[in-house]
Amino acid sequence: MEGLLPIWKERGMTSHDCVFKLRKILNIKKIGHSGTLDPDVDGVLPVAIGKATKVIEYMVDSKKIYTGEITLGFSTTTEDSSGEIVEKKPVDINIDEDDIDNTLSEFIGVITQTPPMYSAVKVNGRRLYEYARKGLVIERPSRKVTIYSFDRTSEVVRNIDQETLSFSFKVVCGKGTYVRTLAFDVGEKLESPSHMSELTREASSGFKREEALTLSEVQVLVDEERIEEAIFPLEKALSHMPSYELNPEEYIKVKDGSVLERQAFLADDDEEIVFYYQEKAVAIYKIHPTKRQYIKPAKILRNKLAV
């Protein structure tokens, strides 16, 4: 069995838990996922099975869509609702929907983010959350991320007793984006401590929530011996990349990992290309690191197709 399976990760479990349970359901060890979801977040978790695990890194590169809620009035250690309160401040009663909409629009484009302490980013060989659990705050490397759209999707709700303000949002973003940090940064611009109070991943790696299956739904398909109907070919993860259909002679060279002339296959602006044979992805090639006029294999996916 090989291919891609979009899973709907429910709240209360880690992404690792999800993969662990899926291995038992499918009775397959070689399974990986694309893009970790926090335990409190539900949504689309694309899973790669068998040979498809080779393309996980290319799945991560695609756009993601999230919906959720931002609450102004207090911030937390984790930048979401699971953390302890760090700062609390009554929301300015003058903040209105226009102020929020204008603030959200300021984040569209390429922005710089600093990962939260409670995250899986590695610094000096250790995950940031390992430092955070010991009460340590260390310097974190900033990263560039892309926000394609960021919109308020509900009316503003004020909680008079708690002196907070909440609103729902939808964001379309590129790889590496921390939506928790986005929620925190929105508050900073509005001069109010804030946090992400709710989050759902609606789409990832080309998969939408309508295509995703819960683990219990996967179990039903396995019991009915229909699970293959739900698995997508690994080629779906590579559809956004430049491609080339090989003839039999070219396929023999590519499956053996031969170095090829770049000019014959790659445009000037492209760094990688997927080679297909008989509509099956055979290999991913990239520009040679020392001889830029050539391309070499980044990954060989299939080398046993009939010629």
Residue numbers annotated as active site: 38
Strand 64-72 relative to strand 194-204: parallel, antiparallel, unpaired?
A: antiparallel
Residue 133 has phi, psi (to 5 degrees) of -65, -20
Closest to 53 measured CA to CA, from 23, 81, 14, 83:
23
Q: List the beta bridge partners of residue 263.
A: none
Residue 277 has phi, psi (to 5 degrees) of -140, 125
Instruction: Indicate the burial class of 131 (C-beta count within 10 angstroms; 0-12, 13-18, 19 or more).
Output: middle
CA-CA distance, 232 to 234, in Å (whole number)? 6
Instruction: Indicate the burial class of 134 (C-beta count within 10 angstroms; 0-12, 13-18, 19 or more).
Output: exposed
Cβ 215 vs Cβ 227: under 8 Å: no
Token pair, residue 12, equals 């209360």
